[in-house]
Structure 1
Amino acid sequence: METLLLDQDAVEAGAQTTDVIDAVERAFAAYARGDVQMPPKSYIELPQHNGDFRSMPAYLRTEDWEAAGVKWVNVHPDNPTKHDLPTVMGTMIYSDPETAFPLALMDGTSLTRLRTGAAAAVATRHLAREDATSLGLVGAGVQSYTQLDAIAAVRDIEKVVVSDVDEAAVAAFIDRYGDSYDVREGTIEEAAECDILSTITPVTEPIVHAVADGTHVNAIGADAAGKQELADEILRDATLVIDDYEQCTHSGEINVPWSEGLLTDEDIHAELGDIVVGETVGRTDPDEITVFDSTGLAIQDVAAAHVVYEYAAETDIGTPFSFVGSER
């Protein structure tokens, strides 16, 4: 039996957008039902290198399949300027739960980007207005692409307003999507007037101070303690939905006001999985503001890896290699 080596091209080919969204939605449902094992994300801090490693293992069982794996990922902000390397790099080991055989070793960087977009799409499916047609993006990096691709799979997006301090990044985004959507550069305030808003920046001070009535916000950028994109007032007044209690209170969008006592358990409406399985209602008023605090869960990686592996196995993409020897 051989292991599949799946590089970035193979992962992107195998991660069909609608399939990944559906798999990630199933992962949220499994989480709500208690059909997952997901130890807390562990960190190795490397201040001498201005970076860290993160280990994210998980197992989940859905009605049709089960999957297991672990993602080893880093965040090294100095990489692009000092080493000509990406800030974030990840490696995913995808294993057979029955035998523990490593079915695939795959690029976790693109997998992370794709499953993050899928998680926002799941939240948008359950929390945004049905008639939402405009998307605001605060941040024009690579994650903005998967936000648009995934969200457009669950809502009929026509207009996109993108805001970023990096003019080249905005220009590249418009060049890529300008023929498919009504795309224009705008201010943060203009992006926040859209029906749906995704914030995907690494800021540590809020940069979005108001959103329009009825807007759904996917707060993506905060992934460590001290980061925050949305003003406290937005978080306090919105219908606040989180992906995971421990991660969000520690390192999600709500972590700063939570640590300061400005938000409490009473301010959290639900975890997304509870809404997916129907235990809690999502949006109830077309004028309410909804916020999804997305920290990224290991079950999302495993669900996306399942989609990629199944596609690769069926279509003969990737490179098989002998990784595990026979028992002697």
Structure 2
Amino acid sequence: MTAPRFFDADEIGAVLGVDAAIESQRRAFRALGAKTAVLPAKTHVPGPGGALALAYPCRLSPDTGPVCKFISFNPGNTEYGLPSIHGLIVALDPETGAPVAVLDGAAVTTIRTSAASAVAVDVLANPDVTELAVLGSGVQGVAHVRAIAAVRPLETVRIHSPSEEHRTRAARELSQELGLRVIATDDAESAVRGAGIVALCTVSTEPVIRREWLATGCTVISIGSFEPHRREVGRDVVEPAGAVVVDHRETALSHAGPIVDAPLAEPELQELGEVLVGSAPGRRAPEDLVYYNSTGVGVQDAAAAWAVIERSRG
């Protein structure tokens, strides 16, 4: 049997650029919305000090083989100068089930998460938005600026995180890379006020924004509320939203902190895939507040992994 090909972070980044990553996530959520993807529940394995391991199995489509990601989240790794996320993704042949590829799970997670947010922005945010606020200046915060800039004509980006050094460096590097006006702000409110899109890339257990900071028609994207106790927004954002959209309804109801906390009935939640295929309305009016909560689901990894495999074959 031929050994599976290993794709490291550099190879994944070279093969799966921003546009290709976004297209892979459109494919993922369309498959989910059309109910052609097979998505079992993901498995959580808690550990000490807030550590968490997760397994994400999925089959995107009959012509792509099963994929499973096994990944760890260790928030204490920053003390050791290590990334908080590590993991591997295994893809199996669609006919024989033999392993065909092993991919760096952290690299795929970074790319697919920001690309999925860009898909959400593209279908939920008002089309003329030019100001973006990002809370969090780590890997995901930076990746979100790149991805959202690919789907909206941004003119100004404001970025905030607790570390002045980190936010200043991120703003400087993004300005140089993207040719945008990227400003590091001293506080979250200064970043958020006036922005038509707000991307929350933290792992906070307390809300990091307030409803009164948000502009009319704002779209809020939250990626750090992937456990019940993590709540980047409070009820003051979720309850008045004209649309509350999630990546996967069942997962959000049990894992997404703001959704678990808010008194929402299941039918009030829309899935991003349903919006993409037209079975849910998404944004109803330009002036509506729209909230999107991403917990991360296996179909995203499956789509990104097969995009890497297929593109590497030429």
Scaled to the shorter chain, the TM-score interval is: over 0.9
Q: Distance in 2 between matches of 1:208 and 1:250?
A: 23
Q: TM-score, normalised by structure 2?
A: 0.93
- Residue 185 of structure 1 is matched in structure 2 by 184
- CA drift of 1:50 comes to 4.2
**Aligned partner letter, 2:10:** D
Match of 1:121 among 118, 121, 124: 118
- Residue 256 of structure 2 is matched in structure 1 by 252
1:128-143 mapped onto 2 (5 Å cutoff): 128-143=125-140
**Aligned partner letter, 2:203:** P
1:56 and 2:60 are equivalent in the alignment: no
- Residue 93 of structure 2 is matched in structure 1 by 96
- CA drift of 1:228 comes to 0.4
- CA drift of 1:124 comes to 0.5
- Residue 33 of structure 2 is matched in structure 1 by 32
- CA drift of 1:230 comes to 1.1
Q: Distance in 2 between matches of 1:265 and 1:36?
A: 21
Q: Distance in 2 between matches of 1:223 and 1:92?
A: 19
Q: Distance in 1 between matches of 2:173 and 2:81?
A: 24
Q: Distance in 2 between matches of 1:34 and 1:66?
A: 15
Identity within the alignment, %: 30
Secondary structure (helix, strand or coil) at the match of 1:71 reads: strand
**Aligned partner letter, 1:164:** S
Which ranges in structure 1 are unaligned for 5 or more consecutive residues? 315-328
Q: TM-score, normalised by structure 1?
A: 0.89
- Residue 76 of structure 2 is matched in structure 1 by 78
Rg: which structure is higher? 1
- CA drift of 1:200 comes to 0.8
- Residue 200 of structure 1 is matched in structure 2 by 201
**Aligned partner letter, 2:114:** G
- Residue 308 of structure 1 is matched in structure 2 by 308
Q: Distance in 2 between matches of 1:265 and 1:2?
A: 45
> Would you say the 8 A contact 2:42–2:55 is kept in 1?
yes
- CA drift of 1:4 comes to 1.1
Q: Distance in 2 between matches of 1:227 and 1:308?
A: 31
Q: Distance in 1 between matches of 2:307 and 2:254?
A: 29
**Aligned partner letter, 1:293:** N
Aligned length: 306
Q: Distance in 1 between matches of 2:60 and 2:299?
A: 7
Which ranges in structure 2 are unaligned for 5 or more consecutive residues? none
- Residue 21 of structure 1 is matched in structure 2 by 22
> Would you say the 8 A contact 1:228–1:256 is kept in 2?
no
- CA drift of 1:199 comes to 0.3
Q: Distance in 1 between matches of 2:50 and 2:141?
A: 25
1:146 and 2:151 are equivalent in the alignment: no
Q: Distance in 1 between matches of 2:20 and 2:292?
A: 21
- CA drift of 1:253 comes to 4.3
* TM-superposition CA deviations, 1:152-197 (whole Å, max 9, x none): 1111111100011111210121121123111112232233220111
The Cα RMSD (Å) is 1.6
Secondary structure (helix, strand or coil) at the match of 2:244 reads: strand
Q: Distance in 2 between matches of 1:43 and 1:275?
A: 28
Q: Distance in 1 between matches of 2:30 and 2:278?
A: 9
- CA drift of 1:121 comes to 0.7
Q: Distance in 2 between matches of 1:131 and 1:39?
A: 37
- CA drift of 1:138 comes to 0.7
- Residue 224 of structure 1 is matched in structure 2 by 227
* TM-superposition CA deviations, 1:30-89 (whole Å, max 9, x none): 112211111111012223x64221111100128xx53421100011122232x5432210
> Would you say the 8 A contact 1:67–1:97 is kept in 2?
yes
**Aligned partner letter, 1:254:** P
1:237 and 2:235 are equivalent in the alignment: no
- Residue 317 of structure 1 is matched in structure 2 by none
> Would you say the 8 A contact 1:161–1:185 is kept in 2?
yes
> Would you say the 8 A contact 2:54–2:70 is kept in 1?
yes
1:274-313 mapped onto 2 (5 Å cutoff): 274-313=274-313
Secondary structure (helix, strand or coil) at the match of 1:125 reads: helix
- Residue 215 of structure 1 is matched in structure 2 by 218
**Aligned partner letter, 1:201:** T
Secondary structure (helix, strand or coil) at the match of 1:66 reads: coil
- CA drift of 1:264 comes to 2.6
